Amino acid sequence: MSTSTESNSGIAASVSGVVDERPGYFGEFGGAYAPEVLMGALGEVEAVYNRLKDDAQFQKELRQLSGEYAGRPSHLTFAPRLTEAWGGAEIWLKREDLNHTGSHKINNALGQALLTVAMGKKRIIAETGAGQHGVASATVAARFGLECTVYMGEEDVRRQKLNVFRMELLGAKVVPVTSGTGTLKDATNEAMRDWSKNVDTTHYIIGSAIGPHPFPTIVRDFQAVIGHEAREQMLERTGALPDAVVACVGGGSNAIGIFHGFLNDESVKIYGSEAGGRGDDLGDNGASVTFGQVGFFHGTKSLYIQHGNGQIENVHSVSAGLDYPGIGPEHAHLAVSGRVDYRRVRDDAALEAFQEISRLEGIIPALESSHSFVLAKQLAKELGRGARVLVCLSGRGDKDVVEVAQLLGREGF
């Protein structure tokens, strides 16, 4: 392999190109394909959200909490040593790693906790991969006095022990999920099962821009603060828009959040890095744009990695947060329309970037975010000096340090 990122070879042949005009659709993707028992709850969430999203009091409360509790606005940081070492475009970082609980996940968790309270519900549930969304959910549950159960695949429970204990300290119950590969998709299945049994008392805080309508829209709106802040900060600091914006894509929430600041800016090229894993064979990666086909899963129509017969395939990534067999429907649309270029980044390249960013900038990035740096490095060279690349640093890497030490064969871990 001569380059460290690989362009997708062409979008799935299964795309129809027919635009669906109903609410909750992005081009032909999206919608709410959920069991009967959930349709009422989804309708309730949509109605409450539609009422509150333009409500000045709600927005004020969210802004205040985002500030005094979560630390927004997050900083924009110039990365001088990466810029110099890579010898090309300037590298700028949007620092979601500095948020309370260490990633962008708190933006959505706070917003949805306020929705939960507005609906009069007393219990939240969540799925989690790396544990970051579980920690963010457990955190807001503690802050608002809500009961909280987090579903987590047993493989992820093993990889992210520290986050499991963190959630328990915060008063949440963590349920290990043993079905399937014991990763994010299985945890999401269990959370949906719980929700369908307890819709009257419980709100399900989905952690990414996935799932049935209205979730992809709600999560996107709560994460769009990343892009709106970053756009203003870039203009203020550099007097111009960035030439390129890069974010890693698991389900796609940090990416859709930063992308939304720039989608209408034609001069800004937008890139998503997806999990290239160990290689291109089925089961070895989580590159849902490159290898996905149109399908229906977890309540929405999008691109999913599946066998010929439509069965969702097990996927792999070194980072738990990218270990998901699909992407949110809005990303599927942005991929098909060509507005965003999604490229896959392999495990070993991400591991190298994890160490390089730590050494050169004094910032240990999450393994997920490390995927975006691999792509940023390539773009810095492609675009050259004078250009600017904005990277969404979705989270800090403290949670990954033990896993990386083991992968690097360090003794004592």
Find the part of the chain contacting ligand PLP (CB under 6 A) among 59-67, 85-93, 343-351, 364-372.
364-372
Q: Where are the beta strands (DSSP E) in 107-146?
A: 123-128
Q: Does 109 bind ligand PLP (CB under 6 A)?
A: no
**Burial of 95 per CB tally in 10 Å (0-12, 13-18, 19+):** buried
Whole-number minimum distance, CB 86 to ligand PLP, in Å?
Answer: 21
Whole-number minimum distance, CB 18 to ligand PLP, in Å?
Answer: 26
d(CA 413, CA 409): 9
The DSSP result for 244-275, as a single string, is: EEEEE-SSSHHHHHHHTTTTT-TT-EEEEEEE
- 394 as an active site residue: the answer is yes
Binding mask 272-311 for ligand PLP (x = CB under 6 A): ----------------------------------------
d(CA 400, CA 130): 9
Whole-number minimum distance, CB 57 to ligand PLP, in Å?
Answer: 28
d(CA 94, CA 77): 7
Whole-number minimum distance, CB 297 to ligand PLP, in Å?
Answer: 15
Which is nearest to 229 in space by CA: 266, 258, 254, 252? 258
Identify the active-site residue in 127, 155, 313, 403: 127
Find the part of the chain contacting ligand PLP (CB under 6 A) among 57-65, 128-136, 332-340, 373-381.
128-136
Binding mask 368-397 for ligand PLP (x = CB under 6 A): xx------------------------xx--
Q: How many CA atoms lie within 13 A of 369 on its CB side?
A: 30
Pure H helices in 146-214: 154-159, 161-169, 184-197
Whole-number minimum distance, CB 291 to ligand PLP, in Å?
Answer: 17
Q: Which of 254, 290, 317, 370 binds ligand PLP (CB under 6 A)?
A: 254
Closer by beta carbon to ligand PLP, 357 or else 383? 357
Whole-number minimum distance, CB 345 to ligand PLP, in Å?
Answer: 13
Report helix angle 161-169 to 132-144, nearest 10: 10
- Long-range contacts of residues 85-88, Cβ cutoff 8 Å, at least 24 apart: 85/356, 85/360, 86/377, 86/380, 86/381, 87/380, 87/381, 87/385, 88/380, 88/381, 88/382, 88/383, 88/384, 88/385, 88/387
- 302 as an active site residue: the answer is no
Query: Which whole-number Å values give the CA distances from 263 to 11, 119, 228, 258, 271, in the listed order?
Result: 20, 32, 11, 9, 11
Find the part of the chain contacting ligand PLP (CB under 6 A) among 22-30, 246-254, 276-284, 334-342.
246-254
- 274 as an active site residue: the answer is no
Residues linked to residue 346 through DSSP beta bridges, in sequence order: 277
Q: Which of 72, 94, 95, 105 binds ligand PLP (CB under 6 A)?
A: 105
Q: Which of 208, 288, 302, 306 binds ligand PLP (CB under 6 A)?
A: 208
Q: Does 400 bind ligand PLP (CB under 6 A)?
A: no
**Burial of 66 per CB tally in 10 Å (0-12, 13-18, 19+):** buried
Q: Does 103 bind ligand PLP (CB under 6 A)?
A: yes
How many residues lie near ligand PLP (CB under 6 A)?
Answer: 21
Whole-number minimum distance, CB 370 to ligand PLP, in Å?
Answer: 9
Catalytic residue numbers read 105, 127, 394
The binding site for ligand PLP (CB under 6 A) comprises: 103, 105, 130, 132-133, 208, 248-255, 321-322, 366, 368-369, 394-395
